[in-house]
């Protein structure tokens, strides 16, 4: 056990955990979800859901992981011996591998865009150019596979270096740069003529969007943007020292996630409104609309390079967490073989992800439940896997762990503990079941 790596500092853990949460969920998915669901009302509901439901589950994952001090599967076996709870860990292992298999495809697209941005090839007077560019990239068999492999190679090299020298060190320099870049881009976006229309869209509520459907989508976004339900936070917390306060760490991670999500909105919506675009462009907002927007402002090519570096860093920090779950579970207590397992798992996930990479080109006609391979992998993990995982974590922490064990890990004021316990035992499970049912229906 003494050979097991640990985070060297609390800030290193917080930045790594926040990096896991702050990925495509905050920068890619949050803006288009807010854009298609009324902006300000969705943002308000997202913040409330994050704090009231997402945060208690995040604390639960931290609690289980830190108590275990081992990988996810072994952690459940250790804390609930002779029960089937260990299957929750295997679920995290499987769904994390599937998530990373298609996530790495998107990471490859971002690499492709960054390379083009650095070559100043993302310039055109015709906005249709950017839609065609995205389509051409996603159907190019060789390029998407090479880029997917290149992205995974970066992740494997980081994970193979260990927790302190790999995960913690990379997060300590990538996350501050991410914040600085976000602030620079937000300032640039807010200084455009007409930018205040975007700010109004984000912060002045249009109560006609206050519907049950918007609430469900905001709740789903809160779960997914915090990376709860796939043992990511549980695994990271297992490398946390016993004297660290998991309550304050969870608050910091949730807070950073909210701040980055709002900053992403302040980068995107003021620019979108200032240049006459609609905010409800959906998933293509980042890859099609944003390049077109930056192309119309002074020094746009420079700011576009910054944007895709930022997006790449955010995607890398999330992907690191996904691969770490898989490697930690596969590795078990063979800590000295981390590099070997990092490469084996990376290669395996690369192979699994090839069909997703080709699902816009050569395999476009193959459908699973009326979805492309890529979309089905996304649906399977986001709409089914993550809610089930979050539900099981909530139930385990709320019912399997004894009150004294909960208090030992979460030494907070009695009223805070009571609110947390009520949430993980009653509020969160009910909310997750509703999200799960709606997700399966969708």
pLDDT in tens, 380-394: 888 888 889 999 999
pLDDT tens digits for range 322-344 = 999 999 999 988 888 889 999 99
DSSP state of 368: B
What is the pLDDT of the chain when averaged over all its residues?
A: 88
Please check the confidence at residue 294 and state whether its pLDDT lies above 90: no
> In this structure, are residues 89 and 68 in contact, taking their beta carbons and an 8 Å threshold?
no
Q: Is residue 275 part of a domain?
A: yes
In whole angstroms, what is the distance from residue 439 CA to residue 253 CA?
26
In whole angstroms, what is the distance from residue 313 CA to residue 177 CA?
9
Q: Is residue 4 part of a domain?
A: no
Residues in the chain: 442
Q: Which of 140, 128, 163 is nearest to 15 (CA)?
A: 163
Q: Which of 351, 286, 293, 344 is nearest to 312 (CA)?
A: 286
pTM (two decimals): 0.89
Please check the confidence at residue 204 and state whether its pLDDT lies above 90: yes
Q: Which of 115, 107, 112 is nearest to 156 (CA)?
A: 107
Confidence of residue 1 (pLDDT cuts 50, 70, 90): very low
Q: Is residue 285 part of a domain?
A: yes
| pLDDT score recorded for residue 13 | 83
Q: Name the helix (H) or strand (E) containing 129.
A: helix 128-139
- Within 161-297, residue ranges assigned H as helices are 169-190, 196-203, 212-225, 232-237, 246-274, 289-294
CA atoms within 13 A on the CB side of 54: 30
| pLDDT score recorded for residue 441 | 73
Rounded alpha-carbon distances, angstroms, from residue 189 to 121, 186, 199, 255: 22, 5, 10, 23
Mapping DSSP to helix (H, G, I), strand (E, B) and coil, where does residue 120 land?
A: coil
Total number of domains constituting the chain: 1
In whole angstroms, what is the distance from residue 23 CA to residue 256 CA?
12
Mapping DSSP to helix (H, G, I), strand (E, B) and coil, where does residue 371 land?
A: strand
Instruction: Classify each residue of 79-99 as buried b or exposed e, where b means 16 or more C-beta atoms within 10 Å of its C-beta.
Output: bbeeeebbebbebbbbbbbbb
> In this structure, are residues 152 and 104 in contact, taking their beta carbons and an 8 Å threshold?
yes
pLDDT tens digits for range 141-196 = 999 999 999 999 999 999 998 888 888 888 888 888 888 888 888 898 898 888 99
The angle subtended at Cα 57 by Cα 262 and Cα 381, nearest 5°, is 75
- The residue written with tokens 């998407």 in the block is 144
> In this structure, are residues 75 and 58 in contact, taking their beta carbons and an 8 Å threshold?
no
Query: Phi and psi dihedrals of 362, rounded to 5?
Result: -60, -30
The angle subtended at Cα 345 by Cα 342 and Cα 347, nearest 5°, is 105
Q: Is residue 2 part of a domain?
A: no
Query: Phi and psi dihedrals of 371, rounded to 5?
Result: -125, 150
Instruction: Say which residues have a Cβ less than 8 Å from residue 229's Cβ, sequence separation at least 6.
Output: 57, 92, 95, 223, 385, 386, 387, 388, 389, 390, 391, 393
| pLDDT score recorded for residue 283 | 62
In whole angstroms, what is the distance from residue 46 CA to residue 51 CA?
9
- The residue written with tokens 């746009």 in the block is 300
Rounded alpha-carbon distances, angstroms, from residue 432 to 224, 301, 395: 12, 42, 11
Enclosing domain of residue 359: 10-441
CATH (domain of 234) = 1.20.1740
- The residue written with tokens 């992998």 in the block is 377
| pLDDT score recorded for residue 196 | 94
Q: Is residue 5 part of a domain?
A: no
Q: Is residue 204 part of a domain?
A: yes
How far is C-alpha 98 from the chain's CA centre?
14
Range 70-91 average pLDDT:
94
Confidence of residue 227 (pLDDT cuts 50, 70, 90): confident
Instruction: Say which residues have a Cβ less than 8 Å from residue 174's Cβ, sequence separation at least 6.
Output: 19, 313, 316, 317
pLDDT tens digits for range 114-140 = 999 999 888 877 768 888 898 999 999
DSSP state of 281: -
Q: Is residue 192 part of a domain?
A: yes
pLDDT tens digits for range 246-271 = 998 899 889 988 988 898 889 888 98
Hey, what are 273's tokens? 């409104």
In whole angstroms, what is the distance from residue 258 CA to residue 193 CA?
26
Q: Which of 68, 348, 87, 80 is nearest to 236 (CA)?
A: 68
Q: Is residue 255 part of a domain?
A: yes
Hey, what are 53's tokens? 């439901």
Q: How many CB atoms within 10 Å of residue 435?
A: 25
């Amino acid at each position: 056990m003494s050979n097991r790596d640990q985070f060297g500092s609390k800030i290193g853990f917080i930045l790594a955990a926040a990096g896991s949460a702050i990925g495509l969920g905050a920068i890619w998915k949050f803006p288009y979800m807010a854009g298609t669901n009324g902006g300000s009302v969705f943002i308000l509901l997202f913040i409330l859901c994050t704090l009231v439901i997402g945060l208690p589950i995040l604390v639960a994952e931290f609690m289980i992981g830190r108590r275990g001090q081992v990988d996810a599967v072994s952690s459940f076996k250790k804390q609930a011996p002779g029960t089937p709870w260990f299957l929750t860990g295997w679920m995290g292992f499987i769904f994390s591998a599937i998530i990373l298999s298609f996530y790495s495809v998107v990471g490859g697209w971002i690499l492709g865009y960054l390379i083009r941005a650095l070559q100043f090839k993302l310039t055109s007077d015709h906005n249709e150019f950017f839609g065609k560019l995205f389509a051409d990239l996603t159907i190019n068999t060789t390029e998407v596979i090479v880029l997917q492999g290149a992205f995974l190679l970066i992740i494997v090299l980081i994970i193979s270096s260990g927790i302190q020298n790999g995960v913690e060190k990379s997060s300590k320099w990538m996350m501050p740069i991410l914040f600085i870049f976000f602030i620079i881009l937000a300032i640039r976006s807010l200084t455009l003529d007409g930018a205040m229309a975007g700010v109004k869209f984000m912060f002045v509520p249009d109560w006609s969007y206050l519907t049950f459907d918007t609430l469900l989508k905001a709740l789903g976004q809160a779960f997914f943007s915090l990376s709860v339900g796939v043992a990511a936070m549980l695994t990271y917390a297992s490398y946390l020292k016993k004297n660290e306060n998991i309550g304050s760490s969870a608050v910091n991670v949730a807070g950073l996630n909210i701040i980055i999500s709002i900053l992403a909105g302040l980068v995107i919506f003021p620019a979108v409104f200032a240049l006459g675009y609609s905010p409800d462009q959906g998933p293509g907002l980042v890859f099609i609309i944003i390049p077109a927007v930056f192309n119309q402002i002074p020094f746009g090519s420079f700011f576009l390079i910054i944007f895709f570096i930022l997006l790449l860093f955010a995607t890398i920090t999330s992907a690191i967490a996904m691969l770490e779950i898989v490697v930690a579970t596969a590795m078990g207590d063979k800590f000295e073989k981390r590099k070997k397992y990092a490469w084996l798992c990376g290669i395996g996930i690369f192979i699994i992800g090839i069909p997703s990479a080709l699902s816009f080109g050569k395999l476009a006609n193959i459908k699973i439940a009326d979805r492309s391979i890529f979309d089905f992998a996304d649906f399977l993990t986001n709409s089914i896997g993550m809610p089930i995982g979050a539900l099981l974590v909530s139930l385990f922490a709320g019912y399997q762990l004894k009150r004294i064990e909960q208090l030992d890990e979460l030494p907070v004021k009695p009223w805070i503990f009571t609110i947390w316990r009520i949430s993980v035992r009653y509020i969160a499970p009910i909310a997750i079941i509703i999200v799960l049912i709606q997700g399966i229906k969708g």
